[in-house]
Homo-oligomer: A and B are copies of this chain.
Amino acid sequence: MISFASDYLCGAHPQVLKRLVETNMEVLGGYGSDLYCQSAAAKIQAACACPKAEIYFLTGGTQTNQLIISAMLKSYEGVIAAKTGHISVHEAGAIEYTGHKVLELEGELGKLKADDLEDYIKTFFADENHEHMVFPGMVYISFPTEYGTLYSKKELEALAAVCHRHAIPLYIDGARLGYGLCSYENDLSLPEMAALCDVFYIGGTKVGALCGEAVVFPQGNPPQHLRTQIKQHGALLAKGRLLGVQFDALFTNDLYWHISQHAIAMAEKLKKILMAKGYEFFLQSSTNQQFVILDHKTMERLSSQVEFSFWEELDEDRSVVRFATSWSTKEEDLKVLEKLL
């Protein structure tokens, strides 16, 4: 059976795995002190055009969100996010577990709007009772969003301006960062994004690694004793090399971008096939996630031969499903799919 269920269903990109094999018997320091972590960090600094950036490697997305958000918030602060944000819905309350509220704004197709954000913050500080409320202490967005949508450069600049005006850090969840930056509609470069936010992470798990996310503090100002906080969260790998070697491989010879471009090319072909067959899209996405409306008969028929993800029920007869491509999506799979549709 072919699968478009998600972008984390195969192992690592062969080149990443190859480097794990090649370096396997080297004796290296533990806990992220090894030379591959250093080398990967240097390559990421270069890719971001942030020579002062500090980089930390973590294992997965929820872990990263939990750690970064709780390490940067003061105890009486919460994090603003879209109602559909991953931290709002699909992380089992990982943020609240650390004592902080997710302050949910409505958003639009997964995106926060700068005006809404400005309004929220202004209204908060204007409220006589705001001492009895959770202070907004960070803004969380995802790029691409959970709906595969993207912030334009202009939109991100507007959000960043609001954050800057109120001295509230802006954090970008880049679980699928490569698939966003390589989208044909994207007008942001990695250095531009790095310059607009206070912290973000470059997703590895969904973009060719076995596991791993690279947290980037573009201006080199991480929270104090962050390594200790990582340990305190149970998130410090003894064999930090596992992450260092993978990110070193991903940022060697533009592998991260090749992987991402491939997934986007496959997604574009997928879109064409679906459109040609008359399928209706739930929303326009230019990234590796495509949201399609299926009537329940079609859904049932297809699901015996191709894997995709159920997203939400639209009405009695139809549901939204997601098709995702990745570095491992093959042309042949698309051809098989085309015949099935």
Contact = CB atoms under 8 A, between A and B. Distances in A.
Give the copy number: 4
A111 to B, nearest CB: 20
Contacts of A74: 224-225
Contact of A228 (B67, B98, B131): B131
A275 interface: no
Interface residues of A, number: 78
Interface string A1-38: 00100101111101001001101111111100000000
Interface in A221-235: 224-225, 227-229, 231-235
A132 B11 contact: no
Interface string A78-93: 1000000000011111
B238 A8 contact: yes
Contacts of A128: 310
Interface in A86-105: 89-94, 96-102, 104
A92 B211 contact: no
Contact of A101 (B3, B27, B70, B102): B102
Interface string A274-292: 0000000000000000000
Interface of A: 3, 6, 8-12, 14, 17, 20-21, 23-30, 59-67, 70-71, 74-76, 78, 89-94, 96-102, 104, 128-129, 131-135, 205-206, 210-211, 224-225, 227-229, 231-239, 241-242, 307, 310, 328
Closest 3 pairs between A and B when the two form their complex, measured CB to CB: A63-B234, A11-B24, A92-B231
